Structure 1
Amino acid sequence: MARTKTNVRLPQPSIRDRERDLGSGVVKSARRVFELFELFEQLNRPATVSEIVQASGFPQSSTSMLLQTLHRMGYLCWNPDDRTYVPSLRLNMLGGWVHDVALPRSNLRLAMQELSRRTGISVVLGQRTGRFVQYAHVVFASSLRDDDVPIGVVRPLVETGLGYALMAALPDEEVRRVASACLSPQGRAGVVRSVEQVAEMVAQVRAAGFAYSTRLQNVGRASFSFGLGQSGGQDPEFGRESSLLGLALAGKRRVLEARLPDIIAAVNDVAREYLPDVRIEIDPKTPIHTI
Protein backbone atom coordinates (compact mmCIF):
# COMPACT_ATOMS: atom_id res chain seq x y z
CA MET A 1 0.00 0.00 0.00
CA ALA A 2 1.44 3.37 -1.05
CA ARG A 3 2.24 5.87 1.64
CA THR A 4 0.12 9.03 1.64
CA LYS A 5 2.25 12.06 0.80
CA THR A 6 2.47 14.47 3.72
CA ASN A 7 4.25 17.70 4.48
CA VAL A 8 7.22 17.17 6.76
CA ARG A 9 7.14 19.44 9.82
CA LEU A 10 10.33 19.69 11.82
CA PRO A 11 11.66 22.07 14.49
CA GLN A 12 13.24 25.15 12.95
CA PRO A 13 16.29 26.93 14.42
CA SER A 14 15.47 30.19 16.20
CA ILE A 15 17.60 33.33 16.33
CA ARG A 16 19.25 31.85 19.46
CA ASP A 17 20.27 28.63 17.72
CA ARG A 18 23.45 28.26 15.73
CA GLU A 19 24.64 25.80 13.17
CA ARG A 20 27.71 23.86 14.15
CA ASP A 21 30.92 25.51 12.95
CA LEU A 22 32.87 22.53 11.70
CA GLY A 23 35.73 24.61 10.31
CA SER A 24 37.55 23.93 7.06
CA GLY A 25 38.38 20.55 5.65
CA VAL A 26 34.98 19.02 6.39
CA VAL A 27 34.15 15.83 4.52
CA LYS A 28 30.78 16.78 3.06
CA SER A 29 29.61 13.21 2.44
CA ALA A 30 30.34 12.21 6.06
CA ARG A 31 28.45 15.23 7.37
CA ARG A 32 25.47 14.37 5.20
CA VAL A 33 25.30 10.81 6.55
CA PHE A 34 24.99 12.00 10.14
CA GLU A 35 22.60 14.81 9.24
CA LEU A 36 20.44 12.12 7.64
CA PHE A 37 20.44 10.08 10.86
CA GLU A 38 19.58 13.23 12.85
CA LEU A 39 16.71 13.83 10.45
CA PHE A 40 15.29 10.37 11.15
CA GLU A 41 15.66 11.05 14.87
CA GLN A 42 13.50 14.16 14.54
CA LEU A 43 10.94 12.51 12.27
CA ASN A 44 10.73 9.50 14.59
CA ARG A 45 9.14 7.41 11.83
CA PRO A 46 9.97 5.83 8.46
CA ALA A 47 10.25 8.26 5.54
CA THR A 48 10.22 8.18 1.76
CA VAL A 49 12.97 9.61 -0.41
CA SER A 50 10.80 12.61 -1.32
CA GLU A 51 10.07 13.35 2.35
CA ILE A 52 13.77 13.18 3.19
CA VAL A 53 14.61 15.49 0.30
CA GLN A 54 11.89 17.93 1.37
CA ALA A 55 13.06 18.01 4.97
CA SER A 56 16.81 18.06 4.33
CA GLY A 57 17.17 20.06 1.15
CA PHE A 58 19.61 17.46 -0.19
CA PRO A 59 19.62 16.80 -3.98
CA GLN A 60 17.28 13.92 -4.83
CA SER A 61 19.76 11.91 -6.92
CA SER A 62 22.55 11.89 -4.31
CA THR A 63 20.01 11.31 -1.51
CA SER A 64 18.69 8.20 -3.25
CA MET A 65 22.22 6.87 -3.71
CA LEU A 66 23.10 7.58 -0.08
CA LEU A 67 19.98 5.81 1.19
CA GLN A 68 20.63 2.80 -1.01
CA THR A 69 24.23 2.59 0.19
CA LEU A 70 23.27 2.74 3.86
CA HIS A 71 20.57 0.14 3.24
CA ARG A 72 23.09 -2.25 1.65
CA MET A 73 25.44 -1.71 4.59
CA GLY A 74 22.66 -2.64 7.02
CA TYR A 75 22.19 0.77 8.65
CA LEU A 76 18.79 1.41 7.06
CA CYS A 77 15.84 -0.89 6.41
CA TRP A 78 13.78 -0.57 3.23
CA ASN A 79 10.06 -1.30 2.98
CA PRO A 80 9.08 -1.86 -0.68
CA ASP A 81 5.34 -1.74 0.14
CA ASP A 82 5.28 1.93 1.12
CA ARG A 83 8.75 2.79 -0.26
CA THR A 84 10.11 4.04 3.06
CA TYR A 85 13.44 3.85 4.83
CA VAL A 86 13.98 3.57 8.59
CA PRO A 87 17.17 3.17 10.68
CA SER A 88 18.00 -0.41 11.61
CA LEU A 89 18.78 -1.81 15.03
CA ARG A 90 22.39 -2.14 13.89
CA LEU A 91 22.59 1.64 13.80
CA ASN A 92 20.89 1.88 17.17
CA MET A 93 23.52 -0.37 18.76
CA LEU A 94 26.51 1.64 17.53
CA GLY A 95 28.12 3.46 20.44
CA GLY A 96 25.84 1.82 22.97
CA TRP A 97 28.88 0.52 24.85
CA VAL A 98 29.82 4.11 25.77
CA HIS A 99 26.52 4.55 27.60
CA ASP A 100 26.96 1.15 29.27
CA VAL A 101 30.36 2.08 30.68
CA ALA A 102 29.40 5.60 31.75
CA LEU A 103 25.96 4.71 33.14
CA PRO A 104 25.99 0.91 33.54
CA ARG A 105 22.73 0.65 35.51
CA SER A 106 20.86 3.50 33.84
CA ASN A 107 18.82 4.03 30.69
CA LEU A 108 19.05 7.63 29.58
CA ARG A 109 16.72 7.27 26.60
CA LEU A 110 13.97 5.65 28.68
CA ALA A 111 14.45 8.31 31.38
CA MET A 112 13.86 11.06 28.82
CA GLN A 113 10.81 9.32 27.38
CA GLU A 114 9.33 8.80 30.84
CA LEU A 115 9.96 12.42 31.86
CA SER A 116 8.17 13.62 28.74
CA ARG A 117 5.29 11.18 29.27
CA ARG A 118 4.76 12.19 32.90
CA THR A 119 4.97 15.94 32.31
CA GLY A 120 3.70 16.36 28.75
CA ILE A 121 6.80 18.48 27.99
CA SER A 122 9.63 17.95 25.50
CA VAL A 123 12.91 16.74 27.04
CA VAL A 124 16.30 17.81 25.65
CA LEU A 125 19.67 16.12 26.21
CA GLY A 126 22.50 18.65 26.11
CA GLN A 127 26.22 18.04 25.97
CA ARG A 128 28.97 20.56 26.46
CA THR A 129 31.15 21.22 23.41
CA GLY A 130 33.76 23.79 24.37
CA ARG A 131 31.93 27.01 25.24
CA PHE A 132 28.70 25.74 23.69
CA VAL A 133 25.95 23.34 24.64
CA GLN A 134 24.75 21.11 21.82
CA TYR A 135 21.28 19.60 21.78
CA ALA A 136 22.25 15.98 21.21
CA HIS A 137 18.82 14.33 21.47
CA VAL A 138 15.23 15.44 21.97
CA VAL A 139 12.12 13.53 23.03
CA PHE A 140 9.32 15.59 21.53
CA ALA A 141 6.11 15.89 23.49
CA SER A 142 4.02 16.60 20.41
CA SER A 143 3.96 15.80 16.72
CA LEU A 144 3.64 19.56 16.10
CA ARG A 145 7.33 20.31 16.41
CA ASP A 146 7.67 23.71 14.75
CA ASP A 147 8.20 25.36 18.14
CA ASP A 148 10.64 22.77 19.53
CA VAL A 149 14.45 22.70 19.58
CA PRO A 150 16.12 21.09 16.54
CA ILE A 151 18.52 18.24 17.26
CA GLY A 152 22.16 19.16 16.68
CA VAL A 153 22.08 22.95 17.02
CA VAL A 154 24.30 24.71 19.56
CA ARG A 155 24.00 27.71 21.87
CA PRO A 156 26.65 29.44 24.00
CA LEU A 157 26.65 28.04 27.55
CA VAL A 158 25.83 31.46 29.02
CA GLU A 159 22.75 31.89 26.81
CA THR A 160 20.66 28.90 27.83
CA GLY A 161 19.42 27.42 31.09
CA LEU A 162 20.87 24.05 30.17
CA GLY A 163 24.26 25.69 29.86
CA TYR A 164 24.08 26.87 33.49
CA ALA A 165 23.10 23.39 34.63
CA LEU A 166 26.25 22.10 32.93
CA MET A 167 28.49 24.89 34.26
CA ALA A 168 27.31 24.17 37.80
CA ALA A 169 29.43 20.98 37.66
CA LEU A 170 32.59 22.92 36.75
CA PRO A 171 35.13 24.53 39.10
CA ASP A 172 34.71 28.28 39.60
CA GLU A 173 37.90 29.04 37.67
CA GLU A 174 36.66 27.14 34.62
CA VAL A 175 33.24 28.80 34.84
CA ARG A 176 34.93 32.21 34.68
CA ARG A 177 37.10 31.15 31.72
CA VAL A 178 34.07 29.83 29.85
CA ALA A 179 32.06 32.96 30.63
CA SER A 180 34.89 35.22 29.45
CA ALA A 181 35.15 33.31 26.16
CA CYS A 182 31.37 33.41 25.61
CA LEU A 183 31.07 37.12 26.39
CA SER A 184 34.06 38.29 24.37
CA PRO A 185 32.38 38.59 20.92
CA GLN A 186 31.77 42.19 19.96
CA GLY A 187 28.55 44.09 20.47
CA ARG A 188 26.76 41.66 22.78
CA ALA A 189 23.36 42.88 23.91
CA GLY A 190 22.01 39.75 25.54
CA VAL A 191 20.58 39.17 29.00
CA VAL A 192 23.97 38.14 30.42
CA ARG A 193 26.71 40.76 30.07
CA SER A 194 29.44 40.08 32.65
CA VAL A 195 31.52 37.26 34.07
CA GLU A 196 30.33 38.21 37.56
CA GLN A 197 26.71 37.83 36.49
CA VAL A 198 27.44 34.37 35.09
CA ALA A 199 29.19 33.33 38.31
CA GLU A 200 26.22 34.48 40.41
CA MET A 201 23.76 32.57 38.24
CA VAL A 202 25.89 29.41 38.38
CA ALA A 203 26.03 29.68 42.19
CA GLN A 204 22.23 29.98 42.26
CA VAL A 205 21.88 26.85 40.12
CA ARG A 206 24.31 24.90 42.33
CA ALA A 207 22.35 25.82 45.46
CA ALA A 208 18.99 24.84 43.96
CA GLY A 209 20.13 21.78 42.02
CA PHE A 210 18.43 23.00 38.83
CA ALA A 211 18.14 25.96 36.49
CA TYR A 212 14.70 27.40 35.79
CA SER A 213 15.08 29.81 32.89
CA THR A 214 12.65 32.21 31.27
CA ARG A 215 14.83 35.17 30.27
CA LEU A 216 17.34 33.00 28.37
CA GLN A 217 14.67 31.33 26.24
CA ASN A 218 12.80 32.47 23.18
CA VAL A 219 9.82 34.70 23.93
CA GLY A 220 7.04 32.86 25.72
CA ARG A 221 9.15 29.79 26.50
CA ALA A 222 10.89 28.39 29.57
CA SER A 223 13.11 25.49 30.57
CA PHE A 224 13.84 23.43 33.68
CA SER A 225 17.37 22.00 33.49
CA PHE A 226 19.61 19.84 35.63
CA GLY A 227 23.03 18.27 35.18
CA LEU A 228 23.89 14.58 35.03
CA GLY A 229 27.12 14.88 37.00
CA GLN A 230 28.40 12.72 39.86
CA SER A 231 28.10 9.54 37.82
CA GLY A 232 28.59 6.19 39.47
CA GLY A 233 30.08 4.65 36.33
CA GLN A 234 32.78 1.99 36.57
CA ASP A 235 35.40 4.03 34.74
CA PRO A 236 36.33 7.39 36.32
CA GLU A 237 37.16 8.87 32.92
CA PHE A 238 33.69 8.03 31.60
CA GLY A 239 32.22 9.29 34.85
CA ARG A 240 33.94 12.60 34.22
CA GLU A 241 32.51 12.77 30.72
CA SER A 242 28.97 12.21 32.02
CA SER A 243 29.27 15.43 34.00
CA LEU A 244 29.25 17.21 30.65
CA LEU A 245 25.64 16.11 30.07
CA GLY A 246 22.37 17.58 31.26
CA LEU A 247 18.63 17.35 30.68
CA ALA A 248 16.11 20.12 30.14
CA LEU A 249 12.34 20.10 30.06
CA ALA A 250 11.54 22.86 27.58
CA GLY A 251 8.28 24.28 26.33
CA LYS A 252 5.81 27.11 26.58
CA ARG A 253 6.32 29.21 29.69
CA ARG A 254 2.71 29.04 30.83
CA VAL A 255 2.81 25.24 30.65
CA LEU A 256 6.01 24.91 32.68
CA GLU A 257 4.88 27.43 35.30
CA ALA A 258 1.66 25.50 35.84
CA ARG A 259 3.49 22.19 36.20
CA LEU A 260 6.64 23.13 38.16
CA PRO A 261 5.79 21.10 41.32
CA ASP A 262 4.93 18.10 39.15
CA ILE A 263 8.16 18.55 37.18
CA ILE A 264 10.33 18.38 40.30
CA ALA A 265 8.49 15.27 41.53
CA ALA A 266 8.82 13.64 38.10
CA VAL A 267 12.56 14.42 37.88
CA ASN A 268 13.22 12.87 41.31
CA ASP A 269 11.10 9.79 40.62
CA VAL A 270 12.48 9.16 37.13
CA ALA A 271 16.06 9.66 38.30
CA ARG A 272 15.61 7.06 41.03
CA GLU A 273 13.97 4.59 38.67
CA TYR A 274 15.95 5.03 35.45
CA LEU A 275 19.19 6.82 36.41
CA PRO A 276 20.53 5.06 39.52
CA ASP A 277 24.12 5.91 38.50
CA VAL A 278 23.38 9.65 38.77
CA ARG A 279 22.71 11.25 42.15
CA ILE A 280 19.78 13.60 41.60
CA GLU A 281 17.50 14.61 44.45
CA ILE A 282 15.90 18.04 44.16
CA ASP A 283 14.29 19.38 47.33
CA PRO A 284 10.64 20.07 46.40
CA LYS A 285 10.61 22.86 49.01
CA THR A 286 13.44 24.76 47.31
CA PRO A 287 12.21 28.20 46.16
CA ILE A 288 12.03 28.35 42.38
CA HIS A 289 13.74 31.49 41.10
CA THR A 290 14.29 32.15 37.43
CA ILE A 291 17.70 32.85 35.97
Structure 2
Amino acid sequence: MPKLRKPDAQPVKSAMRTLALLEHFRRTKASASVTEISDALGIPQSSSSMLLKSLVALNYLEYDAETRRFLPSYRVALLGDWIQRARFGDERITDIMDRLQADIGETVMLGQQVGAGLQYLHVVNTTHRIQFTIPIGEVRPISRTGLGQVLLSCKSNSQVRAIVRRNNADGTDVPAHFRETAILQEMEAIRQRGFSETKGRTTPGANTIGMLIRSSGKQSLLAIGIGGPTDRMDAKRQQVIDALRHRLRMIAR
Protein backbone atom coordinates (compact mmCIF):
# COMPACT_ATOMS: atom_id res chain seq x y z
CA MET A 1 0.00 0.00 0.00
CA PRO A 2 1.59 3.33 -1.04
CA LYS A 3 2.26 5.85 1.69
CA LEU A 4 0.74 9.30 1.80
CA ARG A 5 2.90 12.37 1.90
CA LYS A 6 3.43 13.83 5.35
CA PRO A 7 1.41 16.97 6.09
CA ASP A 8 3.25 20.27 6.03
CA ALA A 9 2.33 21.08 9.65
CA GLN A 10 3.69 18.51 12.09
CA PRO A 11 1.57 17.76 15.19
CA VAL A 12 2.71 18.80 18.67
CA LYS A 13 4.47 15.81 20.22
CA SER A 14 2.61 15.86 23.56
CA ALA A 15 -0.77 16.09 21.84
CA MET A 16 0.17 13.30 19.45
CA ARG A 17 1.20 11.04 22.33
CA THR A 18 -1.97 11.76 24.30
CA LEU A 19 -4.19 10.90 21.37
CA ALA A 20 -2.11 7.84 20.53
CA LEU A 21 -2.59 6.68 24.12
CA LEU A 22 -6.36 7.05 23.88
CA GLU A 23 -6.35 5.24 20.53
CA HIS A 24 -4.38 2.43 22.18
CA PHE A 25 -7.03 2.00 24.87
CA ARG A 26 -9.71 2.09 22.22
CA ARG A 27 -8.05 -0.76 20.32
CA THR A 28 -7.27 -2.95 23.31
CA LYS A 29 -10.35 -2.16 25.45
CA ALA A 30 -8.28 -3.09 28.51
CA SER A 31 -6.17 -1.52 31.24
CA ALA A 32 -2.42 -1.19 30.69
CA SER A 33 0.79 -0.82 32.67
CA VAL A 34 3.46 1.81 32.11
CA THR A 35 5.64 -0.76 30.33
CA GLU A 36 2.82 -1.82 28.00
CA ILE A 37 2.00 1.79 27.15
CA SER A 38 5.66 2.65 26.58
CA ASP A 39 6.00 -0.27 24.17
CA ALA A 40 2.72 0.51 22.39
CA LEU A 41 3.58 4.19 21.88
CA GLY A 42 7.26 3.58 21.19
CA ILE A 43 8.44 6.15 23.75
CA PRO A 44 10.69 5.91 26.87
CA GLN A 45 9.09 4.76 30.11
CA SER A 46 10.01 8.07 31.76
CA SER A 47 8.00 9.95 29.13
CA SER A 48 5.12 7.50 29.49
CA SER A 49 5.09 7.97 33.26
CA MET A 50 4.94 11.76 32.99
CA LEU A 51 2.12 11.60 30.46
CA LEU A 52 0.13 9.12 32.54
CA LYS A 53 0.55 11.08 35.77
CA SER A 54 -0.66 14.27 34.05
CA LEU A 55 -3.77 12.55 32.68
CA VAL A 56 -4.53 10.96 36.05
CA ALA A 57 -4.25 14.38 37.71
CA LEU A 58 -6.74 15.76 35.15
CA ASN A 59 -9.08 12.80 35.73
CA TYR A 60 -8.80 11.52 32.15
CA LEU A 61 -7.19 8.32 33.41
CA GLU A 62 -7.76 6.16 36.48
CA TYR A 63 -4.91 4.38 38.25
CA ASP A 64 -5.23 1.14 40.21
CA ALA A 65 -2.47 1.15 42.85
CA GLU A 66 -2.83 -2.59 43.48
CA THR A 67 -2.38 -3.70 39.88
CA ARG A 68 -0.38 -0.63 38.81
CA ARG A 69 -2.50 -0.32 35.69
CA PHE A 70 -4.20 2.58 33.96
CA LEU A 71 -7.60 2.88 32.32
CA PRO A 72 -9.49 5.84 30.76
CA SER A 73 -11.99 7.48 33.11
CA TYR A 74 -15.66 8.09 32.40
CA ARG A 75 -14.73 11.69 31.64
CA VAL A 76 -13.10 10.46 28.43
CA ALA A 77 -16.27 8.60 27.44
CA LEU A 78 -18.27 11.83 27.73
CA LEU A 79 -15.90 13.96 25.65
CA GLY A 80 -17.28 13.00 22.27
CA ASP A 81 -20.66 11.57 23.18
CA TRP A 82 -22.50 14.70 22.04
CA ILE A 83 -20.94 14.63 18.55
CA GLN A 84 -22.79 11.53 17.34
CA ARG A 85 -26.09 12.82 18.67
CA ALA A 86 -25.51 16.26 17.14
CA ARG A 87 -25.04 14.70 13.71
CA PHE A 88 -27.50 11.81 13.82
CA GLY A 89 -30.10 12.67 16.45
CA ASP A 90 -31.04 9.74 18.67
CA GLU A 91 -29.10 7.29 16.50
CA ARG A 92 -25.43 6.58 17.22
CA ILE A 93 -23.48 5.61 14.12
CA THR A 94 -21.51 3.05 16.14
CA ASP A 95 -24.79 1.36 17.12
CA ILE A 96 -25.86 1.35 13.47
CA MET A 97 -22.57 -0.36 12.61
CA ASP A 98 -23.15 -3.03 15.24
CA ARG A 99 -26.58 -3.72 13.77
CA LEU A 100 -25.19 -3.93 10.25
CA GLN A 101 -22.58 -6.43 11.39
CA ALA A 102 -25.34 -8.50 13.00
CA ASP A 103 -27.44 -8.21 9.83
CA ILE A 104 -24.72 -9.26 7.39
CA GLY A 105 -22.00 -10.97 9.41
CA GLU A 106 -19.13 -9.15 7.66
CA THR A 107 -16.73 -6.37 8.66
CA VAL A 108 -18.31 -2.90 8.88
CA MET A 109 -16.14 0.22 8.44
CA LEU A 110 -16.56 3.96 8.97
CA GLY A 111 -14.28 6.37 7.12
CA GLN A 112 -13.56 10.07 6.69
CA GLN A 113 -11.36 12.05 4.30
CA VAL A 114 -8.10 13.33 5.77
CA GLY A 115 -6.27 15.38 3.14
CA ALA A 116 -5.66 13.03 0.21
CA GLY A 117 -6.30 10.02 2.42
CA LEU A 118 -9.16 7.99 3.85
CA GLN A 119 -8.94 7.30 7.58
CA TYR A 120 -10.82 4.39 9.14
CA LEU A 121 -12.48 5.87 12.23
CA HIS A 122 -14.26 2.78 13.50
CA VAL A 123 -14.34 -0.88 12.51
CA VAL A 124 -16.66 -3.69 13.66
CA ASN A 125 -14.97 -6.95 12.73
CA THR A 126 -16.69 -10.14 11.66
CA THR A 127 -16.40 -13.36 13.64
CA HIS A 128 -15.56 -15.43 10.54
CA ARG A 129 -12.17 -17.12 10.62
CA ILE A 130 -11.36 -15.66 7.19
CA GLN A 131 -12.13 -11.97 7.31
CA PHE A 132 -11.39 -8.57 5.82
CA THR A 133 -9.67 -6.52 8.52
CA ILE A 134 -8.64 -2.86 8.70
CA PRO A 135 -6.74 -1.31 11.65
CA ILE A 136 -8.67 1.54 13.27
CA GLY A 137 -6.94 4.84 12.59
CA GLU A 138 -5.15 3.63 9.45
CA VAL A 139 -4.95 6.14 6.59
CA ARG A 140 -4.89 4.93 2.98
CA PRO A 141 -4.88 6.86 -0.33
CA ILE A 142 -8.50 7.92 -0.71
CA SER A 143 -8.84 6.99 -4.37
CA ARG A 144 -7.71 3.44 -3.59
CA THR A 145 -10.39 2.53 -1.07
CA GLY A 146 -14.08 1.78 -1.45
CA LEU A 147 -15.12 4.28 1.22
CA GLY A 148 -12.78 6.87 -0.22
CA GLN A 149 -14.21 6.51 -3.69
CA VAL A 150 -17.77 7.08 -2.51
CA LEU A 151 -16.60 10.27 -0.77
CA LEU A 152 -14.76 11.40 -3.90
CA SER A 153 -17.93 10.93 -5.95
CA CYS A 154 -19.35 14.02 -4.17
CA LYS A 155 -16.57 16.20 -5.59
CA SER A 156 -16.14 17.77 -9.01
CA ASN A 157 -14.09 15.91 -11.61
CA SER A 158 -11.34 18.53 -11.39
CA GLN A 159 -11.08 17.98 -7.63
CA VAL A 160 -11.01 14.21 -8.14
CA ARG A 161 -8.21 14.53 -10.71
CA ALA A 162 -6.10 16.59 -8.31
CA ILE A 163 -6.48 14.05 -5.51
CA VAL A 164 -5.77 11.08 -7.78
CA ARG A 165 -2.58 12.80 -8.95
CA ARG A 166 -1.50 13.25 -5.34
CA ASN A 167 -2.27 9.61 -4.54
CA ASN A 168 -0.34 8.40 -7.59
CA ALA A 169 2.57 10.85 -7.35
CA ASP A 170 4.83 8.52 -5.37
CA GLY A 171 3.89 5.39 -7.30
CA THR A 172 6.26 4.00 -9.94
CA ASP A 173 3.85 1.42 -11.36
CA VAL A 174 0.25 2.58 -10.91
CA PRO A 175 -2.34 -0.07 -11.89
CA ALA A 176 -4.65 0.95 -14.72
CA HIS A 177 -7.73 0.97 -12.47
CA PHE A 178 -6.13 3.64 -10.22
CA ARG A 179 -5.28 6.06 -13.04
CA GLU A 180 -7.24 9.25 -13.67
CA THR A 181 -9.37 8.01 -16.55
CA ALA A 182 -10.44 4.84 -14.74
CA ILE A 183 -11.17 6.65 -11.47
CA LEU A 184 -13.29 9.27 -13.23
CA GLN A 185 -15.28 6.51 -14.95
CA GLU A 186 -15.78 4.86 -11.57
CA MET A 187 -16.94 8.18 -10.08
CA GLU A 188 -19.67 8.41 -12.72
CA ALA A 189 -20.77 4.83 -12.01
CA ILE A 190 -20.92 5.51 -8.25
CA ARG A 191 -22.96 8.68 -8.78
CA GLN A 192 -25.48 6.75 -10.85
CA ARG A 193 -25.92 3.68 -8.63
CA GLY A 194 -25.41 5.41 -5.26
CA PHE A 195 -22.66 3.21 -3.83
CA SER A 196 -19.06 2.13 -4.42
CA GLU A 197 -17.96 -1.45 -4.99
CA THR A 198 -14.29 -2.46 -5.13
CA LYS A 199 -14.55 -6.06 -6.47
CA GLY A 200 -10.95 -6.86 -5.58
CA ARG A 201 -9.46 -3.75 -7.20
CA THR A 202 -8.30 -2.16 -3.94
CA THR A 203 -7.63 -5.35 -1.92
CA PRO A 204 -7.19 -8.56 -3.94
CA GLY A 205 -9.72 -11.22 -2.99
CA ALA A 206 -11.97 -8.81 -1.11
CA ASN A 207 -14.99 -6.69 -1.97
CA THR A 208 -16.23 -3.60 -0.14
CA ILE A 209 -19.55 -1.90 -0.77
CA GLY A 210 -19.66 1.67 0.54
CA MET A 211 -22.28 4.38 0.86
CA LEU A 212 -22.35 8.02 1.91
CA ILE A 213 -23.74 8.95 5.33
CA ARG A 214 -25.83 12.09 4.98
CA SER A 215 -26.34 14.31 8.02
CA SER A 216 -27.43 17.82 8.78
CA GLY A 217 -24.91 20.59 9.27
CA LYS A 218 -21.61 21.39 7.57
CA GLN A 219 -19.46 18.66 9.10
CA SER A 220 -17.08 16.59 7.00
CA LEU A 221 -18.78 13.78 5.11
CA LEU A 222 -18.55 10.22 6.38
CA ALA A 223 -18.78 6.95 4.50
CA ILE A 224 -19.80 3.53 5.75
CA GLY A 225 -19.08 0.21 4.13
CA ILE A 226 -19.24 -3.54 4.48
CA GLY A 227 -16.34 -5.71 3.34
CA GLY A 228 -15.40 -9.34 3.16
CA PRO A 229 -13.95 -12.08 0.96
CA THR A 230 -15.25 -11.78 -2.59
CA ASP A 231 -17.06 -15.13 -2.65
CA ARG A 232 -19.04 -14.40 0.53
CA MET A 233 -19.80 -10.83 -0.55
CA ASP A 234 -20.96 -11.95 -3.99
CA ALA A 235 -23.40 -14.41 -2.41
CA LYS A 236 -25.02 -11.68 -0.28
CA ARG A 237 -24.43 -8.63 -2.50
CA GLN A 238 -28.06 -7.47 -2.69
CA GLN A 239 -28.55 -8.17 1.01
CA VAL A 240 -25.58 -5.90 1.79
CA ILE A 241 -26.92 -3.09 -0.41
CA ASP A 242 -30.42 -3.35 1.05
CA ALA A 243 -29.12 -3.42 4.64
CA LEU A 244 -26.96 -0.33 4.12
CA ARG A 245 -29.79 1.59 2.52
CA HIS A 246 -32.22 0.57 5.26
CA ARG A 247 -29.92 1.57 8.13
CA LEU A 248 -28.92 4.86 6.45
CA ARG A 249 -32.58 5.77 5.96
CA MET A 250 -33.01 5.38 9.70
CA ILE A 251 -30.27 7.98 10.24
CA ALA A 252 -31.82 10.32 7.67
CA ARG A 253 -35.17 10.22 9.47
Q: TM-score, normalised by structure 2?
A: 0.84
- Answer yes or no: is 1:276 the counterpart of 2:224: no
Q: TM-score, normalised by structure 1?
A: 0.74
Cα RMSD of the aligned pairs, angstroms, is: 2.9
Determine the structure 1 residue equivalent to 2:230: 253
5+ residue gaps, structure 2: none
1:32 aligned counterpart, secondary structure:
helix
1:192 aligned counterpart, secondary structure:
helix
Are the structure 2 counterparts of residues 177 and 24 from structure 1 closer, same or farther at C-alpha, using a change threshold of 3 Å? closer
- Answer yes or no: is 1:189 the counterpart of 2:174: yes
Contact 2:209 2:241 survives alignment (8 Å): no
Q: Which of 46, 54, 59 does residue 69 from structure 1 map onto?
A: 54
Question: Which protein has greater RCO, CA pairs closer than 8 Å, 6+ apart?
Answer: 1
Determine the structure 1 residue equivalent to 2:155: 170
Q: Which of 146, 151, 171 does residue 136 from structure 2 map onto?
A: 151
Give the Cα–Cα distance (whole angstroms) in 1 for the partners of residues 130 and 137 of structure 2. Answer: 15
CA apart distance, 1:219 = 3.0
1:74 aligned counterpart, secondary structure:
coil
CA apart distance, 1:179 = 2.7
Give the Cα–Cα distance (whole angstroms) in 1 for the partners of residues 67 and 129 of structure 2. Answer: 23
Q: Which of 67, 75, 80 does residue 90 from structure 1 map onto?
A: 75
Are the structure 2 counterparts of residues 115 and 195 from structure 1 closer, same or farther at C-alpha, using a change threshold of 3 Å? same
Q: Which of 233, 242, 253 does residue 265 from structure 1 map onto?
A: 242
Deviation track 1:218-264 (CA, whole Å, cap 9, x = no partner) reads 333221211113x2x2x4x23xx2xx210122333333233323322
Are the structure 2 counterparts of residues 260 and 186 from structure 1 closer, same or farther at C-alpha, using a change threshold of 3 Å? closer
Is 247-256 or 153-162 further displaced after alignment? Answer: 247-256
The alignment covers a number of residue pairs equal to 253
Contact 2:200 2:230 survives alignment (8 Å): no
CA apart distance, 1:213 = 1.0
Give the Cα–Cα distance (whole angstroms) in 2 for the partners of residues 276 and 58 of structure 1. Answer: 44
Is 20-29 or 256-265 further displaced after alignment? Answer: 20-29
Give the Cα–Cα distance (whole angstroms) in 2 for the partners of residues 146 and 87 of structure 1. Answer: 30
CA apart distance, 1:144 = 8.3
Deviation track 1:128-178 (CA, whole Å, cap 9, x = no partner) reads 122211112222335989962122221122111111111122233322333
Contact 2:63 2:70 survives alignment (8 Å): yes
Moved over 6 A (4+): 143-147
Contact 1:158 1:192 survives alignment (8 Å): no
CA apart distance, 1:28 = 1.4
Deviation track 1:156-211 (CA, whole Å, cap 9, x = no partner) reads 22111111111122233322333333334452423434322111101111222211
5+ residue gaps, structure 1: 1-14, 278-291
Give the Cα–Cα distance (whole angstroms) in 1 for the partners of residues 79 and 241 of structure 2. Answer: 33
CA apart distance, 1:111 = 1.0
CA apart distance, 1:70 = 1.4
Determine the structure 2 residue equivalent to 1:45: 30
> Percent identity, aligned pairs only?
28
Give the Cα–Cα distance (whole angstroms) in 1 for the partners of residues 137 and 179 of structure 2. Answer: 27
CA apart distance, 1:77 = 2.6
- Answer yes or no: is 1:32 the counterpart of 2:17: yes
- Which has the larger helix fraction? 2
